[in-house]
Amino acid sequence: MEVIRFAMDGLDDSIQKTLTTRFVFDWRLKPFKTNEGHEVMRWMRRARLVAHEYAFAEGKRDDVFSPASSSHLLRLLPVLYLHKLSQYQLADLKSMSPCILGCLDIKDAYLQVPQQQPLRLKMDGGDWIVCRNIPGQRVGARAWFDHISNFLKESSGFKACVLNPCFLRNEQVVVSVHVM
């Protein structure tokens, strides 16, 4: 997965729009193996590249927000799940189709989405081209929602709810997509 790459002379000269970024540093307590094979907890420093986009720089935009689910609907999903299970207690258990309730958190979700419009970064090492969305980009939430919902629709035949596009379903599964 190529998130950023060096800008190539001649090939990337047409990409003029730049993105301001910064490195965010934090400390995490992580398990670490010593040379003797013992596991000890140690503080380790971590850094990640984050976009530093401002709302006033581009003017008003309507394409940066992903659809949001309401808290009432999120509370309703477990109730519907339990209702479906109670129906199966009365029916024949052999005819019961799998009924699963799950939650999924996708790590580095924005990095999975290809950049809609290539951007240039100017850092100490020279010019770079951004190939994937970076956390902090204003279009990141909307781009991730579109990416995951299109993937579900194309690969597994999911259809979005007309009233609330955060809910997608196919014959066996209902999914609520929540983007932060």
Instruction: State how far the alpha carbon of 29 is from the alpha carbons of 50, 109, 163, in Å.
Output: 22, 23, 44
22-36 pLDDT, tens per residue? 777 888 888 989 899
| C-alpha–C-alpha distance, residues 18 and 23, integer Å | 16
Sheet architecture: strand order including 159-160: 159-160, 167-169, 174-176
Q: Residue 62 has what pLDDT?
A: 59
Looking at residues 54-77, what average pLDDT do you find?
64
| C-alpha–C-alpha distance, residues 7 and 12, integer Å | 6
Question: Exposed e or buried b for every residue in 63-82, given b needs 16+ CB within 10 A?
Answer: ebebbebeeeeeeeeeeeee
92-148 pLDDT, tens per residue? 555 555 556 666 777 778 888 898 888 888 877 788 888 888 887 878 888 888 899
Residue with tokens 């240039």: 120
The residue among 180 and 58 whose pLDDT is bigger is 180
Domain boundaries, the chain: 4-53+67-90+100-176
| C-alpha–C-alpha distance, residues 127 and 129, integer Å | 7
Confidence bin at 151 (pLDDT 50/70/90): very high
Confidence bin at 153 (pLDDT 50/70/90): very high
Torsion angle (degrees, nearest 10) of CA 18, 24, 30, 34: 80
Q: Residue 39 has what pLDDT?
A: 92
Torsion angle (degrees, nearest 10) of CA 60, 64, 70, 71: -110
Looking at residues 6-18, what average pLDDT do you find?
75
Q: Residue 55 has what pLDDT?
A: 57
